[in-house]
Chain A
Amino acid sequence: MILKLLDDLSEGVTIARPVLVQGRTLLAAGAQLTSKHLKIFKAWGVNEIWIEGEPEKVSNSEPDHQSKEFKIVLEKIDKRFSKCNGNSELISSLKRIAIAREYSIYKKETDDKGESNE
Chain B
Amino acid sequence: MNSETRKKMETTLRSVGQLPTLPVVYSRLQKVLGDPRVSAQEVGSVIEQDQSLASKVLKIVNSAYYSFPRRISTLSQAVVILGFNEVKNLALSISVINAFGEYGNTAFDRIAFWKHSLAVAVCAGCIAKKAGAAISNSHEEAFVAGLLHDIGKIVEDQFMHDIFQEAFQKGQTQGMLLFEAEKATMGFTHQETGEFITELWKLPSQLVITTSFHHSPLGKKGTTNAFALVSLVHVADIIVRSIGLGSGGDPFIPPLIEECWNLIGLSTNSVESIVTETTRSFEEIGQFLLVDTLSKEII
A residues touching B (Cβ–Cβ < 8 Å)? 2-5, 42-43, 47-48, 55-56, 58, 79-85, 88-95, 97-98, 101-102
Contacts and interface: CB of A to CB of B under 8 A. Distances in A.
Given A80-B252, A81-B253, A95-B242, 15 more contacts: A2-B273, A3-B130, A42-B67, A80-B244, A83-B253, A83-B255, A85-B256, A88-B258, A90-B256, A90-B261, A90-B271, A91-B253, A93-B268, A94-B271, A102-B244
Nearest to B266: A90
A89 B252 CA distance: 18
Contact of B238 (A43, A47, A82, A94): A94
B239 interface: yes
B98 to A, nearest CB: 28
Interface string B67-81: 101000000000000
Interface majority SS (helix, strand, loop, mixed), chain B: helix
Contact of A90 (B69, B241, B268): B268
Closest 6 CB pairs of A and B: A94-B242, A93-B268, A3-B273, A84-B253, A83-B252, A93-B271
Contacts of A55: 269, 272-273
A89 B241 contact: no
A90 B261 CA distance: 8
A92 B275 CA distance: 14
A97 B271 contact: yes
Nearest to A50: B273
A92 B268 CA distance: 9
A117 B261 CA distance: 46
Contacts of A85: 255-256, 258
Contacts of A91: 238, 242, 253, 256
Contacts of B242: 80-81, 91, 94-95, 97-98
